[in-house]
A and B are shown apart, each in its own frame.
Chain A
Amino acid sequence: MAHLLKDKEAYERLNYLYQAAHCVLSQNPENVELARFYCFTQRTVARRLVLKQDPSVKRTLCKKCSSLLIPGVTATTRQRRKNSKIRFTVMRCLSCGQSKTLLNNPDYCLWVDRPEAQLEQQKQPGDKPQINTTQQLLSRCVV
């Protein structure tokens, strides 16, 4: 795939909106509306052009009202646990009350962070790590 297709401008726009929302909140912590508008626009742009966003971005946005979640300013973060020793990190958006739960599994690694998902390491075809069915299919195609 070509490096950064036609949507490069769109990605730059996403970048700008995201950082602008942060700057707005840093200068005026009470102006949550403007930051929310920026993030809402960012989400709309990504939705219209079907652009993928990293979990590091999505975890800081509220899914309901799409306001920027900053712990202490617009959101509260707590550790909770269910009785069966399962622990969560819960982020609550202060404006709409929507809570975002993240499971505290020490062994869990996001697909995006895994080495298998990185494009640079996959120069040769058929070198995909051990996920059985598709690798076998590919190797059969090569042969």
Chain B
Amino acid sequence: MAACCGKPTKKELKKHIPTKTSFVSPLTPTWRPLPQQDMHFILKTLKDKLISVGLEKKEVKVFRPWKKKKDQKPPAAPSEPAVPQVQDSPQNGWTVVAARRQLAIGINEVTKALERNELKLVLVCKSVKPKHMTSHLIALSVMRGVPACQVPRLNQNLSEPLGLKSVLALGFRRCASTDEEVFTDTVDAIKPRVPSLDVAWLPGAAPTVTPEDPAHMEVEVEEEEEAGEKRGQKRKLESESKEITESSSSCSLQPLKVKKVVTNPARKAKKKVKT
């Protein structure tokens, strides 16, 4: 059995395993790993800050009878509108409204604020399943030059003090003029600990880099204008070519990534059953 039929059947079976090669993206952005100490520090500072500010969303759970609405509606109806009206103002909602405005809590809010460039710091929970819920934030925050990092237990730690079900993303907004809230010192404490993100096709990942480059460019342009037209033009051409070479060097070609995948046998079985 094994000896005589072993080799040819093995070969046949190897061929029988159909594989497909698929082109994989070499440019999927990934988060940088955060060292344990920094993670604990960040979590601790956030928690202390939130508890000290006392920011919490309070919801009064109104008892709503499910069954037999007809019977309980007349006695319940007059009591229900009376009760929430009284309880809305002090208890229902956020405790410290000013602090709530300084934060962007929740993935949608953080995404919108990032698109409008309103944030100084972005913290994302790492224990997110599925990952595509927050993966878009990486590229967004790199483009806006905002430090962002993935903290593993953000969700577990922050949902309790805030009184929310789940906190997967947190952003600190830029203050207009007067720094009313004390979040600024937390932001400054956390910022240096955040590892710089890198996306292969985007130049200038860390926030410190982007302000330097336009500053350099501006300085060069000013110098050229002062020097004179011809010289200015030459220098402009040189600086332009320099800029192009810099940007193109940052966009170096990543090697080809291909994956070999075995076809899903469950799929084939289903087709056979159908036909």
Chain A residues packing against B (C-beta within 8 Å): 1, 4-5, 8, 11-12, 14-16, 18-19, 22-23, 26-27, 46, 51-54, 56-57, 59-60, 70-73, 76-79, 89, 91, 102, 104-108, 111-112, 116-119, 122, 125-126, 128, 131, 133-135, 138, 141-143
CB pair A11–B269 under 8 Å, yes or no, is no
| Cβ contacts under 8 Å, A70 to chain B | 139
Chain B residues packing against A (C-beta within 8 Å): 1, 5, 9-10, 13-14, 16-17, 19-28, 107-108, 111, 114-115, 129-130, 132-133, 136-137, 139-140, 143-144, 200-203, 247-248, 251, 253-262, 264-266, 268-269
Q: A11-B258, A72-B140 are in contact. Are A52 and B22 (CB under 8 A)?
A: yes
A-B CB contact pairs (8 Å), 22 listed: A1-B21, A4-B21, A5-B21, A12-B256, A18-B26, A22-B27, A22-B200, A23-B201, A23-B248, A26-B202, A26-B247, A72-B143, A76-B115, A91-B136, A102-B132, A112-B261, A118-B261, A122-B262, A125-B17, A131-B265, A133-B269, A138-B13
CB pair A52–B23 under 8 Å, yes or no, is yes
Nearest Cβ in chain A — how far from B152, in angstroms?
Answer: 16
Cα distance A41–B257 in the bound complex, in angstroms = 19
| Cβ contacts under 8 Å, A1 to chain B | 19, 21, 260
A-B contact count (CB 8 A): 144
CB pair A15–B23 under 8 Å, yes or no, is yes
Q: A4-B21, A11-B23 are in contact. Are A142 and B13 (CB under 8 A)?
A: yes
Given contacts A1-B19, A117-B262, 13 further A-B contacts (CB under 8 A): A11-B23, A16-B253, A18-B25, A22-B251, A23-B248, A46-B23, A56-B25, A76-B111, A77-B111, A79-B108, A107-B129, A131-B265, A138-B16
In chain B, what residue has the closest Cβ to A134? B265
Nearest Cβ in chain A — how far from B258, in angstroms?
Answer: 6
CB-based closest 4 A-B pairs: A125-B13, A106-B129, A71-B136, A22-B201
CB pair A60–B25 under 8 Å, yes or no, is yes
| Cβ contacts under 8 Å, A54 to chain B | 22-25, 259
CB pair A116–B262 under 8 Å, yes or no, is yes
Cα distance A54–B5 in the bound complex, in angstroms = 37
CB pair B9–A142 under 8 Å, yes or no, is yes
| Cβ contacts under 8 Å, A8 to chain B | 256
Cα distance A27–B257 in the bound complex, in angstroms = 24
CB pair B139–A71 under 8 Å, yes or no, is yes
Cα distance A46–B136 in the bound complex, in angstroms = 25
CB pair A26–B251 under 8 Å, yes or no, is yes
